[in-house]
């Protein structure tokens, strides 16, 4: 009888430990899912910002391709053909940077979605398909592409002002005001956007451990 009671007590203790382990596992699973979804949301925001900047870039390409007439009457102050070539170059590089950033961010989102949809028993193998080093590289590529795209977009917009209003070296008030405002606002926006984006992505990814 005593042996039976001891066996029942051991079984109940074992069952209690198993239930506790299952609750802990479910809690960890829920927390990990929330972390992954938060990182996916941050990547969505990054892609959305890239799309907005890409629209602005196409505006610059349309201006460069239409061969617009300058508003500057003085011949020596009009932008040269080289300036228009540089404008087009900056727009193309900006587009490539935004495209790289968006594609890499989307690829990382797809990897995280695949991880969430996979069988919990096979997640170790799924996590090894793209390890932490590759994920870090993808995040760095995505952020760097977005930042460089913003820089080249700002340079191209400055050249748009030169094409339409004339060279800055001529000292025209309208050209100086437009160029100065453009550069000042974009630099301020980058100083706010870049640290905020890097902090959001870093914190979201730093807490994420796929295993």
Nearest alpha-carbon partner for 64 in 44, 80, 85: 85
Does residue 123 surpass a pLDDT of 60?
A: no
Scan for tokens 């042996």, then name that residue.
3
**Residue 179: its pLDDT value, please?**
81
Is the separation of the CB atoms in 143 and 49 below 8 Å?
no
φ, ψ for residue 69, nearest 5 deg: -80, 135
Average pLDDT over residues 94-106: 91
* pLDDT tens-digit series, residues 50-91: 888 888 777 767 766 666 666 566 776 677 778 778 888 888
More reliable by pLDDT, 150 or 14: 150
* pLDDT tens-digit series, residues 3-52: 555 555 555 655 555 666 666 666 666 777 777 777 788 888 888 888 88
**Residue 6: its pLDDT value, please?**
55
Is the separation of the CB atoms in 183 and 154 below 8 Å?
yes
DSSP assignment, residue 70?
P
Is the separation of the CB atoms in 127 and 210 below 8 Å?
yes
C-alpha Rg value of the chain to the nearest Å: 27
Q: What's the Cα-to-Cα distance from 67 to each of 62, 163, 174, 205, rounded to whole Å?
A: 9, 9, 21, 45
Does residue 101 surpass a pLDDT of 80?
A: yes
DSSP three-state, residue 178: helix
* pLDDT tens-digit series, residues 27-36: 666 777 777 7
Angle between helices 81-117 and 132-165 (to 10 degrees): 150
Polymer length in residues for the chain: 211
**Residue 80: its pLDDT value, please?**
75
pLDDT, averaged across the chain: 75
Residues 41 and 185: their CA atoms lie apart, in Å, by 27
**Residue 34: its pLDDT value, please?**
76
**Residue 139: its pLDDT value, please?**
85
Percent of the chain with pLDDT over 90: 6
């Amino acid at each position: 009888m005593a042996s039976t009671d001891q066996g029942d007590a051991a079984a109940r203790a074992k069952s209690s430990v198993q239930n506790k382990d299952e609750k802990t596992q479910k809690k960890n699973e829920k927390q990990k899912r929330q972390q992954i979804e938060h990182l996916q949301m941050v990547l969505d925001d990054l892609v959305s910002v890239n799309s907005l900047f890409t629209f602005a870039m196409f505006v610059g390409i349309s201006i460069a391709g239409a061969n617009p007439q300058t508003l500057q009457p003085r011949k020596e102050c009009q932008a040269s053909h080289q300036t228009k070539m540089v404008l087009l170059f900056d727009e193309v590089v900006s587009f490539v940077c935004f495209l790289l950033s968006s594609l890499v961010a989307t690829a990382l989102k797809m990897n995280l979605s695949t991880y969430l949809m996979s069988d919990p028993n096979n997640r170790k193998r799924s996590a090894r398909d793209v390890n932490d080093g590759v994920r870090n590289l993808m995040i760095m590529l995505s952020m760097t592409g977005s930042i460089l795209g913003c820089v080249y977009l700002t340079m191209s917009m400055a050249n748009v002002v030169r094409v339409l209003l004339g060279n800055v070296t001529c000292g025209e008030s309208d050209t100086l005001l437009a160029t100065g405002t453009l550069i000042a606002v974009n630099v301020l926006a980058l100083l706010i956007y870049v640290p905020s984006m890097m902090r959001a992505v870093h914190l979201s990814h730093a807490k994420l451990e796929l295993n």
